[in-house]
Amino acid sequence: MQDSMNGLEEIPKFDIAIIGGVNSFFPECQNKISVDTHFGNVDVSIYEIAGRDVAVIPRHSDGGKHVPPHMINYRANVCAVSKLGVKRVISTNSVGTMDNHPIGSFVLADDFLDLTKNRTSTFYDHRTVHVDVSEPYCPEIKEGLKHSLRKMNIGFSEGVYVCTEGPRFESRAEIRMMSQFGDIVGMTGLPEVVLAKELNLCYASICTVTNNASGLSEGKLTVSEVLETLNATQEKLFAVLSDTIQKIPESRNCNCSHATLDACL
């Protein structure tokens, strides 16, 4: 059954959302809603995970069509999350490593570099809001992810996420430059994390290392290589997400809810 939810009073409320390329490790969902936002409609799948109702948004999916990273409607997705009453977001991202992270391991983003070019990166088109991103990723969610990864004895590390525009892979020269400042590279982490901050949401990213960054391995980087690693790690990722969701406390004890405090001119 698919419903269209156009008014706030009609929309069920959720505490947690997952945004990512998550269709592959979630079962077929029969419970879907369409959330109408100022930036477009967003299809949301509703799952019960670890006894909690979780809103899931596959960022690359739009009515069954695959959306490339530079065309994703990031503002609509994050706005839909907020409209559902969600306060915490876990993002899943696939990345290339520039710092010898093992293929198939996980990296928790602890900071970012935004090298995108053509993406609208704010909700505030008609006023100036200097949102605080000195701590872009929620420490409370990150601690939950760390606890779950350690509990399951799954290798992980932390690092700086560099986001590029895509959809092409990066050049060798670009990777050499970016590796001076960052650890992993992907195409979907920005502006999502900044938009979440603008809405005072808790947001954390768990990244699957699918490949060495372009030019760091022999031969060319291929999509098949990326998908093969994602398929091999999806069960572990789902287990980590489930365990983390189960343990996230209902009340927020971080500073994410104050990101826009004293930020407006």
Q: How far apart are CA 68 and CA 60, in angstroms?
A: 6
Q: How many other C-beta atoms are found inside a 10 Å radius of the C-beta of residue 161?
A: 27
Q: Return the pLDDT at 5.
A: 47
Each residue of 70-88: b (16+ CB within 10 Å) or e? bebbbbbbbbbbbbbebbb
Name the β-bridge partners of 202: 88
Q: Return the pLDDT at 61.
A: 80
The model scores a pTM over 0.85: yes
CATH of 2-258, one of 1.25.50.10, 3.40.50.1580, 3.30.70.20, 3.90.400.10: 3.40.50.1580
Which H or E run contains 250?
Answer: none
Q: Output the CA angle 175-220-208, nearest 5 degrees.
A: 65
Q: How far apart are CA 252 and CA 216, in angstroms?
A: 41
Q: Return the pLDDT at 26.
A: 66
What are the pLDDT tens digits along the chain (265 aa)? 344 444 444 556 788 999 997 555 666 676 889 999 999 999 999 988 888 889 999 998 877 788 999 999 999 999 999 999 999 999 999 999 999 899 999 999 999 999 999 999 999 998 999 999 999 999 999 999 999 999 999 999 999 999 999 999 999 999 999 999 999 999 999 999 999 999 999 999 999 999 999 878 766 767 787 888 888 889 999 999 999 999 998 889 999 999 888 877 6
